[in-house]
Amino acid sequence: MKNNYQIVRTDDGSLSLIYSSKQGRSEAMHHSGGAVEESLYIYLPAATWALEKTGALRALSIGLGTGINEFIMASECVKQNLPLKQVCIESYESEKWLTDSLTHWLTKSSESNELFDLYKQNLNKVCEQQKVSAYKVKGYLQDLFQNKHLVLNKALSESTDFESPFNCILYDFFSSKLDANFWQPEFINSFLKKASAQTCSFASYASTGALKRALKANNFVITKKSGFCGKRESTFSYKLNPTQIENSGHT
């Protein structure tokens, strides 16, 4: 494992990583109250919303980190018996070792590295909460990956273009203290224009003024959602296509 990362156990028993930058700033990938509990609370509703509205999942997950959001989405698809062809997850991660590590876990089960135990424990925890078999979910993730329905991409930037837009966006960058660029209105605005389909959910642990304004400017409805474990706010937002708006009685 890279020496500027450290594995930590959070209060629900699941594992997270703490990153320390060269400038001496540290940030955990999850709330100390529970990596899996937090991710289920913040990100699962975005996946279930997209599945309910469209019957398919075309998700954009940034960043991959320890892969909990990918485990959550796969667990929900298994729970709903969703055929692979109706699922596509594109994940972005700037740290190559994290992408390589998950790739190895999905493809070379005979080998092992420091993160394999973290994946196993976190997947078990997700599946326990979701009441599905961890064995089935790992198999589903492997099938998605082999069939290129789970794609692990490099860093996302302002120049990233997408083949087609997504119906579910999980916006899980580090905070603005570490990665200010991804929380600037101009970045979020042009990102949403490119990334979001007409029917789309959007979730983030963060809830900033700039994020809300950019979502509204891109026709998203903002809901009121508390943050995890006593944090003031988080973001769950969605937009419907015009026919769905008419049918749902929204004006």
Ligand X SMILES: C[S@@+](CC[C@H](N)C(=O)[O-])C[C@H]1O[C@@H](n2cnc3c(N)ncnc32)[C@H](O)[C@@H]1O
Q: Give CA separation, 83 vs 57, 149, 213, in Å.
A: 10, 11, 36
Residues in contact with ligand X, counted by CB under 6 A, come to a total of 20
Q: Give CA separation, 87 vs 17, 68, 76, 250, in Å.
A: 28, 17, 11, 28
Considering only residues 37, 95, 183, 188, which one is a binding residue for ligand X as defined by CB under 6 A?
A: 95
Considering only residues 155, 180, 217, 221, which one is a binding residue for ligand X as defined by CB under 6 A?
A: 155
196 binds ligand X (CB under 6 A): no
93 binds ligand X (CB under 6 A): yes
99 binds ligand X (CB under 6 A): no
68 binds ligand X (CB under 6 A): yes
Q: Which residues of 58-97 are buried (b: 16+ CB within 10 A; e: fewer)?
A: bbbbbbbbbbbbbbbbbbbbbbbebeeeebbbbbbbbbee
- The least distance separating ligand X from the CB of residue 158, rounded to whole angstroms, comes to 10
Q: What does the block give as tokens for 121?
A: 């424990």
Task: CB nearer to ligand X: give 94 or 121.
Answer: 94
Q: Give CA separation, 228 vs 39, 61, 204, 215, 231, in Å.
A: 9, 19, 11, 21, 5
115 binds ligand X (CB under 6 A): no
34 binds ligand X (CB under 6 A): no
- The least distance separating ligand X from the CB of residue 240, rounded to whole angstroms, comes to 26
SS (H, E, C) 93-133: CCCHHHHHHHHHHHHCCCCCCCCHHHHHHHHHHHHHHHCCC
Name beta bridge partners: 236.
203
Instruction: Give, to the nearest 10 degrees, the angle between helix 68-79 and helix 35-54.
Output: 50
- The least distance separating ligand X from the CB of residue 125, rounded to whole angstroms, comes to 12
- The least distance separating ligand X from the CB of residue 250, rounded to whole angstroms, comes to 31
45 burial (CB, 10 Å; 0-12 / 13-18 / 19+) is middle
Task: CB nearer to ligand X: give 199 or 234.
Answer: 234
DSSP string, 133-157: -HHHHHHHHHHHHHTTSEEEE----
Considering only residues 50, 60, 156, 195, which one is a binding residue for ligand X as defined by CB under 6 A?
A: 156
Site string for ligand X, 220-249 (x = CB under 6 A): ------------------------------
Considering only residues 172, 199, 218, 220, which one is a binding residue for ligand X as defined by CB under 6 A?
A: 172
179 binds ligand X (CB under 6 A): yes
Q: Which residue type, as a one-letter code, is found at position 7?
A: I
Task: CB nearer to ligand X: give 93 or 238.
Answer: 93
Q: Which stretch binds ligand X (CB under 6 A): 100-108, 172-180, 187-195, 210-218?
A: 172-180
151 binds ligand X (CB under 6 A): no
List residues binding ligand X (CB under 6 A): 29, 39, 62-63, 65-66, 68-69, 92-95, 98, 155-157, 172-174, 179
